[in-house]
Every structure is written in structure tokens, then in C-alpha cells.
Amino acid sequence: MNEQSLKGKSAFITGSVQGIGYGIAQSFAQAGAKLAVHGICDQKEADNVVQHMKDFGAADAKFFNGDLRDAGVIDTLMHAVEDWSGGVDILVNNAGIQKTAALTDVDNELWDSIIAVNLSAAFHTMRFALPRMAQRKYGRVVNISSVHGLVASINKAPYVSAKHGLVGLSKVVALEYASVGDASTGGVTVNCICPGWTSTTLVAPQFEQRAKEIGGSFEDGVKSILAEKQPSLRMSETSEIGSLALWLCQISSHNVTGTSIPIEGGWTAQ
């Protein structure tokens, strides 16, 4: 893949100051994209992420904040990103929140927050961006769902509902925009990536706790947890998610739309 394959393209990635979103942003920066990054952090961390993206090769980078639980804030955010970027060519809906709880322990506030960030925010950003992409006859939406957009686990009712909903929403929108453009322009595509266990700082405490429980190393804790669901016994790296997202944004991927691609070591094959 050409190292500057996104040169001249602008990308907006929600939740991109850490984890999977950061890995995707890094891949896009290395491909020469102009990057709008977003997340919840202080100004120093935001400045560091922007500088890192420029160091990785981004044509330009800027941090945008905004509470994705609020539709009005999202509209303001999208206008700001559009004005700065000159047009969002690539939208990655990555931001997400999760909290495990039994169904009867899920209160209204928790349900509403998880649905808002993991599902409704993608609806609002796509509704803004896609008509503008269609005018340019090129556009890419990559929605970061989850293995839990394909299968369920206990104590995750809001999260599983949101991620299943994101997969369904993406299919509908992909069909609505499938005929835009052609192979030469790249068309407009909408796809989901569905990661399983991925190596981020957010999941590390779970592995550390399991390691203590079994009296083993951190790696033993990882394998113990992964053995329950992920047959490869290997976590994915955020850079691997980034590589797939980058491939989906290529002109040559114009006929890949409406898909939900798992990266989960065989989890859903069982």
C-alpha cells in the first residue's frame, strides 16, 4: 500500500487520543492524511497527540473536543471539523464507553449514556458527513463496532445492544449510498470493524487481576482470559486495526461496503 495513499484526504476520528482510535489515527497519519482527532483529555495530552500525528506524517492535525452524548454538541463539532478540514473525506466512529452490569442493575442514566456514545453519535456524525461525501463521489465511514456487535456476553446489555445496533445501522447506510460515484472516484462506503480483545491500557487491569488470581505472569493472565473466548490466545494490536481501517479507505476498496469485519482470533467462528 502506498505510504502516502491518503494524501489530500481529510479524516475525522472520534475517540482518537488513545487505544484503537489512536492506532487508526497513526495509520492514517503515516498515509499522509489531514487529521481531526477527538477525545476526552486535558490540553497537554491533546497537544501531544496532535504533535505525534504530525511527526508520524500527517499533512496537518488538530484536536477537537465535544461530548458525544449531546446531539447539539455533535452538530457544532461536525461543522467545526468540516470548516477546518475543507471537507471530511473519512469518518471513523470509534469513541465508545462500556460498563458491565446485570440487566436489573442497569439504570436509565447508564443505558442512555452507552447508547448515546456507542450508537446515536454515529447516526449524527454520518447524517452530517455522508451527503457531503456523496457530493465529492468519494467517502469512507469506518464504524468501530466490536465482537459484541456480532455475539453477546452476559452483563453487557447496553453495550451489546449499541454495538449490534451500529452493525445494523451501518448496513442500512451502506445500501443507501452504495451507488454513489464509481470505481475511479472510489464511491462512498460504510463498513464496521469488530475487534475482540485488543491490547490497550484500558484492558490491562483485567489481565493483571487475572494473573494475581492464578498466580502467574501478565502473559498468563492474558491467555487465561482469552482462552474463554478468543481461540488464537493472542490479542490484536491497535496498529492492526489501523491497517484494516486504512485498507478500507483505499480507492480500490470501492466495492467493500456494508460489511462487519471481525478481528477476534476466531471468537465468532465457534
pLDDT in tens, 4-42: 899 999 999 999 999 999 999 999 999 999 999 999 999
**Whole-number pLDDT of residue 4:** 87
Residue 78's identity, in one-letter code, is: M
pLDDT in tens, 118-152: 999 999 999 999 999 999 999 999 999 999 999 99
Model confidence at 186: pLDDT above 60:
yes
**Whole-number pLDDT of residue 206:** 87
For the annotated catalytic residues, the residue numbers are 159
CATH number for the segment(s) 10-198+237-269: 3.40.50.720
Burial class (CB in 10 A: 0-12, 13-18, 19+), 270: exposed
Model confidence at 1: pLDDT above 70:
no
Strands (E), 209-267: 260-263
pLDDT band for 2, please (50, 70, 90 cuts). Answer: low
Burial class (CB in 10 A: 0-12, 13-18, 19+), 219: exposed
Q: What is the mean pLDDT of residues 142-171?
A: 97
pLDDT in tens, 87-96: 999 999 999 9
Task: Report pTM.
Answer: 0.96
Model confidence at 162: pLDDT above 60:
yes
pLDDT in tens, 47-79: 999 999 999 999 999 999 999 999 999 999 999
Q: What is the mean pLDDT of residues 162-179?
A: 98
Question: Cell triple for residue 195?
Answer: 475487534
Q: Does residue 106 or residue 1 have the better pLDDT?
A: 106
- Which residues make Cβ contacts (< 8 Å) with residue 203, sequence separation at least 6? 197
3-state DSSP: the chain helix, strand, coil percent, rounded to 5? 50, 15, 35
Q: What is the mean pLDDT of the chain?
A: 96
Model confidence at 202: pLDDT above 90:
no
Q: What is the mean pLDDT of residues 243-256?
A: 98
* Other Cβ atoms within 10 Å of 76 Cβ, number: 13
